[in-house]
Structures are given as structure tokens and as C-alpha cells.
Amino acid sequence: MISLKNRVAIVTGASRGIGRSIAKSLADEGVHLALVARSLEKMKTLEQEIQTKGIKVRIFPVDIADPDVPEKVVKETIEEFGRLDFLINNAGIALSKPLVETTVEEWDRQMMVNARAPFLFSREAIPYLKKSDTPSIVNISSVVGYKGYVLQGAYTASKHALMGMTKVLAQEVHQDGIRVYVISPGGVDTDLAWNMRPDLDRSILISPQEITDLILYLLQHRGNAMIDEINVRRVTNQPWK
């Protein structure tokens, strides 16, 4: 297991939920952070919290649906920190709606945030990740990335796209030493899950920290074992279902 101290990570969707947990835990490990999310207020609050840990932080209050954002974030991250070791494509949005009622605009936004943005961030980051001795990309997908859930058609399609892109990317950059992972959680105790399924008992949901702990392991792992996909389920679910 390697030390993460003084390495540099980009984390999208950093203002809340899993992304916020990732940012705080990486800060605890001494990782310098470029944090991406739409909410300036939440980002500033997070920045104040983690700067006390002695790391450098750069916040980007932007909408990753804008195709120009990934290039800007990566470019300015390199200008600020001089290197890039990790890319965490965590940001995601969901839509609960029958497919036949889904508008083109709603469909496109699901694709732009959940699939296109990770592609663009990865494309822009890879030239710099190649220069790192511990380069990793972690994409946060979902159980819907290989299942079809009623009323979640656009969301399901976008996560299927992310899964497919991850599998191809992992093969294409393997020779460059870049490790590409995807984590596919079931119900996590976040606003996104709560908005999609308000009927769920939050006490049985996966905590954001549980997902974060897996990410920390992946970033620190440099052994010979190949870990490409991690599926995470609530203990109340039946295994293998």
C-alpha cells in the first residue's frame, strides 16, 4: 500500500454525499485537491473544513454538463499543483420518470453529466496521469449500470454508457500504467438516493464513508491483483440478486 501524501486528485460532485466524503478522507491522507461541484456555498464550506488539514485546495464551482469545463478544470489544476495523480468521476444526477414521458432535454442532461463529463475529464486528464507513478481513475456508477430499473430509464442508460466507457478506457490505458476502476453502489445514504426513493429506510442504506473507504483502498493498492469493478449492495438485499 502506498502513501497518498502530497499527491493530487480531482474530485467531481464534491460538495455533498459521496464526493464530500471522498474529499474529506483524501484530505486526511494529505492529498491536495481540485474539487468540482455546482454549489459555491457548499464548496466554500468544505474548503474551509479541509484546509485545516494542511493541504492545498482549489474549488471549481461549475456545471460539468458544459463540455468546456473538464478541459478548464484539468488545465488549471496542473497550473495550480503541477501534477495529477487521481481522477474521481463521482458527480451524477438522476431522474425518476417513465421513458415515454422523458423529454429530449432531460435525456441529454443525464447523458451529459453521467457519461459525457467522465469521458471528457478522463480524456483531458490522461496525458498528465501518464506522468504519475500512481495514476488512477475511479468512476462511480450504480447498480443501474447493468440492470434496468423502472422509472429510471434515462439514468439507467447513462450509467450503462459509463460502464461501457470505463471498460474500454481501462484496456486502452493499461499499458500506460493507469488503473481504471468502477464502483457500482446500490442505495447510498445521499440526497440523490433519497430523492429517487423516498420510501427507503435511511438506516439500512450504505453510508458514503463505506464507498470512500473502498476508493482509498483502490488508490493505495499497487499490488499485482487486478481490481476493475466493485459492486456494493445493502446487506438487506439478497446476495447476487
**What's the pLDDT score for residue 241?**
64
**What's the pLDDT score for residue 158?**
97
**Along the 241 residues of the chain, how does pLDDT read in single tens digits?**
899 999 999 999 999 999 999 999 999 999 999 999 999 999 999 999 999 999 999 999 999 999 999 999 999 999 999 999 999 999 999 999 999 999 999 999 999 999 999 999 999 999 999 999 999 999 999 988 988 889 999 999 999 999 999 999 999 999 999 999 999 998 776 766 666 667 767 777 889 999 999 999 999 998 888 888 999 988 776 666 6
What cell does 117 get? 463529463
Q: How far apart are CA 210 and CA 119, in angstroms?
A: 25
> Nearest to residue 73, comparing CAs of 6, 116, 30, 11?
11
**What's the pLDDT score for residue 240?**
63
In our burial notation (b when 16+ CB lie closer than 10 A, e otherwise), range 112-128 reads: bbbbbbbbbbbebbbeb
**What's the pLDDT score for residue 196?**
66
Q: What is the set of domains in the chain, with CATH numbers?
A: 8-232 (3.40.50.720)
8 A C-beta contact, residue 42 and residue 13: no
Select which of 128, 146, 149, 155 is catalytic: 155
**What's the pLDDT score for residue 20?**
96
Specify whether 155 is catalytic.
yes
What cell does 121 get? 475529464
User: Cα dihedral angle (7, 10, 15, 20), rounded to 10 degrees?
Assistant: -40
**What's the pLDDT score for residue 216?**
98
